A = this chain, B = another copy of it.
Amino acid sequence: MAEKVTIADVARHANVSRQTVSNVLNSPEIVREETRQRVLQAVEELGYRVSQAARRLRTGRSRLLAVRAEHTQDGMNVFDRFLHGLTESAGLAGYRVILYTAQDGPSEIEAFDDLLGTYEPDAFVLTSTDYGDVRTEWLAGRGLPFVTFGRPWGTPGGGSHPWVDVDGAAGTAAATRHLLDAGHERIGFVGWTRGSGVGDDRRSGWVRALGDRPLLERDTDGSAAMGEAAARELIAAGATALVCVSDAVALGALQAGDVPVIGFDDTPVARAIGLSSLAQPLEEVARACVDVVTTILDPDKPGARRGGPPYHVLLEPSLVIRKDPR
């Protein structure tokens, strides 16, 4: 079954030259229909599949997308869902996902270098971008194709590269409006210490939706414990509902009192405990990442992304309400 069927076997079986088989596979339009059919049938019968190794050697293309396996510090993340979506979408586009690990920026660049020298991935998909990301510079400087899940925070305007992201501000704004609609006027925000692109973005949506109402907010380190403490202070200060920068702090906030709380990311925790949260459309994000990166790699591919560069895709999170604001 896996008996190494080569292109020569197919050619023999279909009574054509090796080249014709290659043409049928790579440029079907230049081959006569009847011949094409015959070859395709031979391919089917013999169970032929291209050897990526041979193809890569010849073309320099590996059809591999490199992604970092996240270490998942606090653990309450959604990386696995993204990764699953990415693998699925990549597969549909004829690509595979190859993993690597790294502790920090510099070591990740080492990993890039190593991968490029050995497995030669065609592109990288980067996650968790933040201000002044060294990785994107390195890749861009070498003209290597990549896309990030996350906007290039900190490089205002210039240094722009392909990215896909979820509009955190739109999410928190929707959450805030939901609470306003329920009659709340004093809506607090439990955030992260300023300076993180994602955190600041999420905060901004809450600010925007609140208009000129009072801004009751506290910063945290992202832990549930600090989330609880922050929530207590906010409630004491008069907040009757809370929007949180993450499910982790929201989990803590829930312990602080009996006010409605909305988290962010819709992690498994939120589902399990019935916490309202903002769900990122991770499958769509993954699909967009694959879309962008494969279009860069092969601009003439069928169904190439309309619009062309610079390939910026911003998707909206959706509000998942699990408890009615009281």
Residues of A within 8 A of B (CB): 1-2, 47-54, 56-57, 62, 64, 69-72, 74-77, 79-81, 83-84, 87-88, 91, 96-101, 113-120, 142, 224, 248, 251, 267-269, 271-273
**B101–A98 CB distance below 8 A:** no
**B76–A272 CB distance below 8 A:** yes
Q: How near does chain B come to A40, taking the closest CB pair, in angstroms?
A: 16
**A142–B2 CB distance below 8 A:** yes
Given A57-B54, A79-B80, A272-B248, are A2 and B117 neighbors across the interface (CB < 8 Å)?
A: yes
**B76–A72 CB distance below 8 A:** no
Q: How many protomers of this protein does the assembly include? A: 2
**B273–A224 CB distance below 8 A:** yes
Q: How near does chain B come to A292, taking the closest CB pair, in angstroms?
A: 19
Given A97-B98, A118-B52, are A83 and B57 neighbors across the interface (CB < 8 Å)?
A: no
Instruction: Determine which residue in A50, A72, A114, A248 has the highest number of CB atoms from chain B within 10 A of its CB, and name it.
Output: A72
Q: Which 6 A-B pairs have the closest CB atoms?
A: A75-B268, A49-B117, A53-B56, A69-B87, A97-B99, A80-B80
Q: How far is the CA of A268 from the CA of B251 in the complex (A)?
A: 12
For A98, what are the chain B residues with a Cβ–Cβ distance below 8 Å? 64, 96-99
